[in-house]
Chain A
Amino acid sequence: EDQVTQSPEALRLQEGESSSLNCSYTVSVLRGLFWYRQDPGKGPEFLFTLYSAGEEKEKERLKATLTKKESFLHITAPKPEDSATYLCAVPANQAGTALIFGKGTTLSVSS
């Protein structure tokens, strides 16, 4: 069964304190891994798509990496405005390629 697991559930950082969020996945065929950011009361906002092991993508203080079993979202020198819930997802094989989402990591960055 296709599955996505994110850890930790919650992460508190001081401004400037770098860290990483983990997304492990189980799919028979990986056809992409997606990262989203969700702010309270809003819909998820697309960040990155990764397609193959070894691939990396960056956007401001965020860098996403992919291995054969997991993806990491590295946050370098975070700022309070990076506080949000970060979701990862993979296309399911059983449901016509709709996305399966992890439960997310809620990041809080304090100044």
Chain B
Amino acid sequence: NAGVTQTPKFQVLKTGQSMTLQCAQDMNHNSMYWYRQDPGMGLRLIYYSASEGTTDKGEVPNGYNVSRLNKREFSLRLESAAPSQTSVYFCASSEYGGGTQYFGPGTRLTVL
């Protein structure tokens, strides 16, 4: 089992460019999450999907969109990247909402 995988691992964008971060899990989990981690701010929830077919905003959703493509995959899209979106992005999954979350290795994004 690969657990939670994320692509790409690193990305550099220019302001205004768009990109999609991909996440997939092979644990048959129902819930999936996107977080960003910034120095001094800890992990902050961007969006989550409690189950296939549903998505909801977290603490910091502005500038992002998500798609729960199927039970395995949950993508995060930046439509027009801004320097404030420079961060490390983590995807996570859990068997159910509020359960133990398992994290991917992260995507390090720099917006110039």
Contact = CB atoms under 8 A, between A and B. Distances in A.
15 contacts: A34-B100, A42-B106, A44-B90, A44-B103, A49-B100, A87-B43, A95-B56, A96-B50, A96-B97, A97-B97, A99-B45, A99-B101, A100-B45, A103-B42, A104-B42
Interface in B1-60: 4, 33, 35, 40-45, 48, 50, 56, 58-59
A43 interface: yes
Contacts, number: 60
Interface residues of A, number: 24
Interface of B: 4, 33, 35, 40-45, 48, 50, 56, 58-59, 90, 92, 97-98, 100-106
Tell me the dominant secondary structure on chain A's binding face.
loop
Contacts of A87: 42-43
A53 B97 CA distance: 22
A25 B59 CA distance: 18
A98 B45 contact: yes
Contacts of A78: none
A24 to B, nearest CB: 14
Interface string A1-43: 0000000000000000000000000000001101010000111
A94 B13 CA distance: 33
Contacts of A91: 97-98
A43 B106 contact: yes
B90 to A, nearest CB: 5
